[in-house]
């Protein structure tokens, strides 16, 4: 299965990037570009919905780390939501849980963003 990336803005202009399928070395450029576009528009808080991501390899993790670094440059953050057990485990093993804001759902991430605004 390939990768489908769908970006939608909430009514209050928060991008929700929904990922469906496998994030691997061949699909990473598409994800990198989608996240760069949002950051370039100074959308500081970005929610990435991983609930339908079936696979996330080290290249995919690298794209997420790069996006977090770029978001921090504009005082922003990347929120990861809905990660499967395997994706959560990859984040834990690599200790990336220390740099990302991780929420159980898109709604929980949006609530946190709105409360901190």
Distance CA 33, CA 37 (A): 6
Q: What is the pLDDT of residue 41?
A: 95
Strands 45-56 and 15-23: parallel
Check: CB of residue 46 under 8 Å from CB of residue 15. yes
- In the numeric block, which tokens belong to residue 104? 């159980």
The per-residue pLDDT of the chain, averaged, comes to: 94
Q: What is the pLDDT of residue 44?
A: 93
Question: How do residues 14-32 score in pLDDT, each as one tens digit?
Answer: 999 999 999 999 999 999 9
Does 3-104 carry CATH code 3.30.1330.10? no
């Amino acid at each position: 299965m390939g990768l489908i990336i769908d970006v939608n803005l909430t009514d209050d202009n928060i991008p929700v990037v929904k990922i469906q399928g496998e994030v691997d070395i061949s699909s990473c450029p598409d994800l990198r570009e989608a996240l760069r576009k949002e950051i370039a528009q100074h959308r500081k808080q970005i929610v990435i919905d991983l609930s339908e991501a079936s696979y996330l390899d080290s290249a995919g993790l690298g794209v997420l780390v790069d996006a977090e670094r770029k978001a921090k440059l504009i005082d922003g953050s990347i929120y990861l939501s809905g990660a499967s057990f395997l994706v959560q485990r990859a984040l834990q093993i690599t200790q990336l849980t220390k740099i990302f804001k991780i929420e159980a759902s898109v709604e929980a991430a949006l609530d946190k963003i709105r409360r901190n605004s």
